[in-house]
Every structure is written in structure tokens, then in C-alpha cells.
A = this chain, B = another copy of it.
């Protein structure tokens, strides 16, 4: 079976774009980075990020709906954990790219 040039339909594009949109908010990135590999409850995330509780809760809900984090209730608190490691993979790719782009610019300026 031959693999011809894939024609991405609009629904697929929308899904992919949505995934990127999920990662396009500094606050969400901050939460994900704060979480890292551990499990944390909302209050701790609020404290660690310094953000408003409602805001953190909203972002966690969005991440949860997208299947990026898991939720585990434990008494009064709710514990979250990153369940999708591709998140970090994406961030790594972006970070290295930004870094090298930055280095290039710095190099270009080094003659001045």
C-alpha cells in the first residue's frame, strides 16, 4: 500500500491546532512545568504559581478535558498529574529551537 501525500482535512487541522492552542498560554505552561512528574493538589499549584485560584482551576479543567492531566480526588483536595509526556517533548523541541535562534542572533550582532 502506497503512502501518497496526505491531504489534511479541516477537522484534522482543527484538532492539531487545538493541541497547540492548549500549549499557547504561559499560565498553562507554568502549571505544567510546575507539575513536572509529580502529583500536586490545586492549593499547592496555586501557591507555586502565584496565580489566582479560580484561574488555576480553570486551566486545570482545560488541561483535564484535553486529556493532558489526570485528576484524583483525595478527601477535600484534588490531585493533578501530567499524563501526557508528549507535552514535555513539545516544549523541549520549542525550547531548543528558540535557544539556537537566539544564539544565531547574538552571533549576528557580535560584529557590531
Residue numbers of A with Cβ under 8 A of B are 5, 8, 10, 13-21, 23-26, 28-30, 33, 36, 67, 84, 86, 89-91, 93-98, 101
What secondary structure prevails in chain A residues at the interface with B?
helix
For this chain, the copies found in one complex come to 2
23 sampled A-B residue pairs with Cβ under 8 A? A8-B30, A13-B33, A16-B29, A16-B91, A16-B95, A16-B98, A17-B23, A17-B25, A17-B29, A19-B94, A19-B97, A20-B21, A20-B23, A20-B24, A20-B90, A20-B94, A21-B24, A23-B24, A84-B97, A86-B93, A89-B93, A90-B94, A93-B93
Instruction: Point out the residues of chain B lying under 8 angstroms from A20, CB to CB.
Output: 20-21, 23-24, 90, 94
A49–chain B nearest beta-carbon distance, Å: 11
A29 contact set on B, CB distance < 8 A: 8, 13, 16-17
